[in-house]
Structure 1
Amino acid sequence: MGSKTTRTNYGRKTKRKSSLFAKISSSFKIGFLILIIGMIGYHYRSGLAHYLGFKSEFATKTDVFSEARNLKVLEKNDGKVVGIDVSEYQGKIRWSYVDTLEQKYPLNYVFIRATVGCDRVDRQFKKNWLGAQKNKMIRGAYHYYRPNENSLDQAELFIKTVTLKKGDLPPVLDIEKLPKNQSIERLKIGLRRWLNAIEKHYGVRPIIYTGEKYYDDFLKEEFSDYLFWIANYNFYREEIQDEWLFWQFTEKAVVPGIDTKVDVNIYNGDLEQLRFITVE
């Protein structure tokens, strides 16, 4: 009986210690979580105050955290030129209203999707192309490249669709997917063929758009003779990299005149430098 009583008391003591440890551990986790949230809130304090205090009319359209980050990025890249990119997925754009982001940052340029693969023209390209011009925005056209289709056929479709004028941005090759029916080396040959055909026709070197990982893994070394427009939405990235020409830092911005969320981009320079790279 004595030994059983001792074991029972010991067991109760052990359970009490375990319970106490669990409470301390749980309290520590909650405290740590509160600390992290507090640090994030402090870091984005200006953006959160802006959206919670002055943009309540957008509450149903926006993710407050994403929008607060967007404002932080814009603040950190102040002085650099801001623009957007659009396609048929933005629907019918009311171009006369497309003017600023956050009622503070002018939208000076727009990249517009023109073609997809070797057989499809963006349904809103003509309207967007003319609308951007009427709105006095610097405009550029891009082609969404399909890795498993003939590169020269894709270049021909773009050339038939897009007429560039003085003051327009260079053509853009948008490559995001890996091929299914060919090697990476064959893909790179196709990309080169598209780029060369476009440069020969327009007399200006195209820009390449892609994600940061795709850029690092497949394009950075072999296409170092081209300028890049890089997509990276990571919350910890708040300033454009020196080697990037453009940075697409979000796909979740609210822009006047557009009913859907929009991609926003930062050019690695001022407005005068942006005009310098346009078609002459």
Structure 2
Amino acid sequence: KAVLLLLRGPSAMVNEDDFKVAVTIVFALLILCLLFYAVRALCLIGSIGCCIADVCKCCTRCFCKCFKQDKEGGAVATGGAAAGALDPLHRAGNWGALMLMICAIFMSIIWQFYIGEHMDEWKLVRDAWQDNCDPDDGDYPQCAEYAATYRVSFATVIFFLGMACVCAFEPRLHDEGWDIKFFAWLGIVTLFIFAPNRVFDDHGYVWPARIGAFAFLILQQIILVDFAYTVNEKLTEMGMREGEDGLTPPLLLLLGISVACYSLAFAGIVCLFHYYTGCTNSDAFISITFIMIVIFTIAQLFSDPALGHNILVSSVVA
């Protein structure tokens, strides 16, 4: 009542009930205005999302147009398109998956090194992020940083497993709808923010991920060895074909690639010793890696040439 009297003034002759009705109407109008601007803000956010989706879609189409491979010198026509026309969906799935993986890598890095340790400051997710990662523990904040990376990794695994299942029944979906797929992946990552750490740490996702990573590394080594042997054979054949004595340009290129690979390998080992020392397991694995590189390189150099030895394979694997 004091507020009403202050607003009305001492000499006001307005009825108190009428004044209350007027104030109620004013507040109702203010609330409607706020709701209106809130809806406009949501529409603006939606428009921004649509723009981002269009940009992603255009990027995938531009990439697939730039890297489209022609067969026998002519463009491949799909879906009844005329010869020479570019299919906008050609290899869009490959480039869309690559772009999503790049986004996942950058998100993991940013989340781990800049955001992860501050997630428990958000009350809504504090319990989830402090699960098996208490600030009083000695592993904090590393456990929170790792948990951030695990969330992005698990979301990416679920996304691609779902894609594999869907594309098994409808292969064309591999190339379509990457704007929607990107936001679906982002939605999975957002949901995982509220999931407890035990879903992702040693009690859940981490061990299957480690086993899968080991299997992938073995497969990757096989692919790299096959690729290195192919490149070595091509460059050696080109070098011998020129009929010159000594190191021909293809052989020099082969030697340069080998030296570059070894340089990168040893630089990486030095960085590992510099940044990841102090842990017995880390020191042991880094040392074993360095020793095995030296052993296999020596074995390649002194093996029988008839067995197809070459230094490029050792350098690539290193």
Could you say whether these structures have the same fold, taking a TM-score greater than 0.5 normalized by the shorter chain as the test?
A: no
Higher RCO (C-alpha 8 Å, min separation 6):
1
User: TM-score of the superposition, structure 2-length normalised?
Assistant: 0.27
Q: Greater share of helix residues, 1 or 2?
A: 2
User: TM-score of the superposition, structure 1-length normalised?
Assistant: 0.30
Larger radius of gyration: 2
